[in-house]
Amino acid sequence: MDGPVRIGLVTSVGRTLDAFFPAIAARLEERGFVVTSASGTHSDIASWTHLEGFSQRPSLGVVTAVRSLRAWSRAQQHDVVITNTATASAIVRLAGLRAPVVYFCHGLHWGDEHAPGARPWQLIERALLRRTAGVITINRDDHAWFERHHAPHVHRLRSGVGVPLEEYPAAPVPADGHDLLWVGDFTPRKRPHLAVDVVERLVELGCPVRLRMLGDGPLHEEVRSRIDAAGLGSVITAEGRAAVAPALASATALLHTAEWEGLPRVALEAAAVGRWSYGFDVKGLRDAPLVRLAPDGDVAALAGLVAADVSSGAVRSVPDVRESLGVDAAADGIATAVLDVLGRPALDSDGRTSPGQQSA
């Protein structure tokens, strides 16, 4: 097999490509790969193609989606196709492409694999493994699940998709005040009400903290009402969406309350800026750098952890882990996974490869 390895990257919607993959694709191109991308809605990523029939949720357009996907991949002469997001990953793996398919799993759809609600998702994922040539994971729990079910060529990116470090510069922890930051969608899985409960407990403990909540969603107004009802309007704000990087730079630490995650990007961003993340010991968050964890759902324990670190000053003593968080490491990890699936030589110590060479 001669020439550079040709990678296709497919997601359900374009905003996923734009959020995670431009720098990764650019890095892969620098390494000698050819990367083309496609999704069901517009993306600004380079070499992008619109795929008819693709959507964020399953729809009657699946036949059109398969047809457009096959035509695109055939025209691009892909050696491998990487798929990400739930709907796209199912369509791509069922489409019968000529190229092998690598599933880049940002998070299997359950927190506790033994929970009743996890069973249908697991049956679907196990069925799709028959059409999967390789898997890229970003947390230990998902990695272990794929290995237990004999998925081929399982790789793990310990820093997920990485952080664009130039957008999240290191910043000293503010010397005054103790301002916590919560970032996410106001949805049941993210459990924003628990952030309010933690801060209410901290106020009861006499810990001088404030909380800024960024994001919106179906629970936004309910949480705002909860803040007012608890008399915490002077301590907690929930203003909607805003730029995360400057918010992290002005905060003392990140507060995270999700039920489960793939690997929370905001916790990686917090670590890049130089902030601890405080949260519950759940899938995904337990694998983030610079985390301080309490048992899941134990508001008193998490508040006690924050209060103790505020009192001792440990909240302001943050190790520098930026070097391990960049996008280059993520791209090189993806390259390694692709080359493994194709039986090609791995990247050398400088992160370089000759994609046209075949392994012995």
List pLDDT tens digits, range 144-181.
Answer: 999 999 999 999 999 999 999 999 999 999 999 999 99
Q: What is the pLDDT of residue 350?
A: 60
Whether residue 336 lies inside any domain: the answer is yes
Same domain, 54 and 191: no
Whether residue 321 lies inside any domain: the answer is no
Same domain, 28 and 139: yes
Same domain, 261 and 157: no
Whether residue 236 lies inside any domain: the answer is yes
Same domain, 155 and 83: yes
Same domain, 204 and 285: yes
Q: CA nearest 145: which of 187, 83, 189, 103?
A: 103
Same domain, 188 and 289: yes
Same domain, 207 and 308: yes
Same domain, 148 and 19: yes
* % of the chain surpassing 70 pLDDT: 95
Contacts for 137 with CB less than 8 Å, ≥ 6 apart: 105, 143, 146, 154, 155, 156, 157
> Given the structure tokens 């380079």, which residue do they identify?
46
Joined together, the tokens standing for residue 109 give 């759809």
C-alpha distances in Å from residue 83, one per residue of 139, 163, 204, 345: 17, 20, 47, 22
Whether residue 149 lies inside any domain: the answer is yes
Classify 223 as helix, strand or coil. helix
Confidence category of residue 86, pLDDT binned at 50, 70, 90? confident
Contact between 265 and 271 under an 8 Å Cβ cutoff? The reply is no
The total of other beta-carbon atoms located within 10 Å of residue 324's CB is 14
Residue 358 has pLDDT above 50, yes or no: no
Same domain, 10 and 158: yes
Which domain, by its residues, includes 55? Answer: 6-162+326-342
Same domain, 192 and 148: no
Q: CA nearest 82: which of 8, 15, 22, 152?
A: 8
Q: CA nearest 62: which of 36, 87, 82, 43?
A: 87
Whether residue 347 lies inside any domain: the answer is no
Residue 348 has pLDDT above 80, yes or no: no
Whether residue 357 lies inside any domain: the answer is no
The total of other beta-carbon atoms located within 10 Å of residue 343's CB is 11
Whether residue 241 lies inside any domain: the answer is yes
Same domain, 82 and 170: no
Contact between 168 and 245 under an 8 Å Cβ cutoff? The reply is yes
* % of the chain surpassing 90 pLDDT: 88
Into how many domains does the chain fold? 2
Contact between 8 and 21 under an 8 Å Cβ cutoff? The reply is no
Whether residue 353 lies inside any domain: the answer is no
Q: What is the pLDDT of residue 359?
A: 35
pTM of the model: 0.91
Q: Establish how many alpha carbons lie within 13 A of residue 101's alpha carbon, considering only the half-sphere containing its beta carbon.
A: 25
Same domain, 10 and 157: yes
CA-CA-CA-CA dihedral for 263, 265, 271, 272, to nearest 10: 130
Contact between 244 and 234 under an 8 Å Cβ cutoff? The reply is no
Residue 351 has pLDDT above 60, yes or no: no
Joined together, the tokens standing for residue 233 give 């309007």
> What is the rounded CA–CA span in Å between residue 68 and residue 55?
13
Contact between 184 and 190 under an 8 Å Cβ cutoff? The reply is yes
CATH of the domain at 333: 3.40.50.2000
For residue 331, which phi and psi values (nearest 5 degrees)? -65, -40
Residue 58 has pLDDT above 90, yes or no: no
